[in-house]
Amino acid sequence: MADGNTFHTGGCQCGAVRYRAKGELGFPHVCHCRMCQKAAGNYFMPFAGAMIENFSITRGEPAWFQSSATVRRGFCAACGTPLFYDGSGDHMTITLGSLDDPPSLKPALQTNLTHKMSWFGELDHLATEPQMDTSAEEGAAIRATSRQHPDHDTEQWPPEAWT
């Protein structure tokens, strides 16, 4: 369990928006509701909450979409990465995929199962396509030209060499 000295950092794909959360992230879960599916462009969205007093934006400003009367969703206006779900409570809900270390927080439960894909249980049994794995050479070429922000805070982004 995280203590008050633990920090979680994260941000968007392009690095324009970065955040920091101090302490434990609560209620780690996967939401299957249709609104989250649309917001993520995916079948579900994983989240956890940081207490507002322990949460700060450290670079840039997110854009916000008021997805319902009580919820707004924060995202990067430059690259579109979904970052936050704000239900006007005492916490900011963070998308777990935007964490710098996503494996550090495993969801503990699922919500809104009415919209869960009925075939999720079959995913581990799907055939695999070994030719679709990125080779070492392809991976090196992608890394050499990637404009994706690294999974850690940086003093400046993008690098001066790109500007």
pLDDT tens digits, 96-106: 999 999 999 99
What pLDDT digit, counting tens, does each position of 55-101 carry? 999 999 999 999 999 999 999 999 999 999 999 889 999 999 999 99
The DSSP H or E segment spanning 29 is strand 26-31
Residue pointed to by tokens 């995916």: 42
- pLDDT on residue 21: 98
Query: What is the chain's mean pLDDT, rounded?
Result: 91
Cβ atoms of 87 and 71 within 8 Å: the answer is yes
The 3-state DSSP class for residue 111 equals: strand
Does residue 36 carry a pLDDT above 60? yes
Res. 162 pLDDT band, cuts 50 70 90:
low
The DSSP H or E segment spanning 18 is strand 18-22
Q: What average pLDDT does range 104-113 have in this prediction?
A: 96
Instruction: Kindly list the distances between the CA atom of residue 30 and the CA atoms of 15, 83, 90, 112, 135, in Å, as whole numbers in the listed order.
Output: 24, 14, 20, 9, 31
Does residue 147 carry a pLDDT above 90? no
Identify the CATH class of 1-117.
mainly beta
Cβ atoms of 116 and 44 within 8 Å: the answer is yes
Closest CA to 18 of 76, 72, 71, 73: 76
Percent of the chain with pLDDT over 70: 96
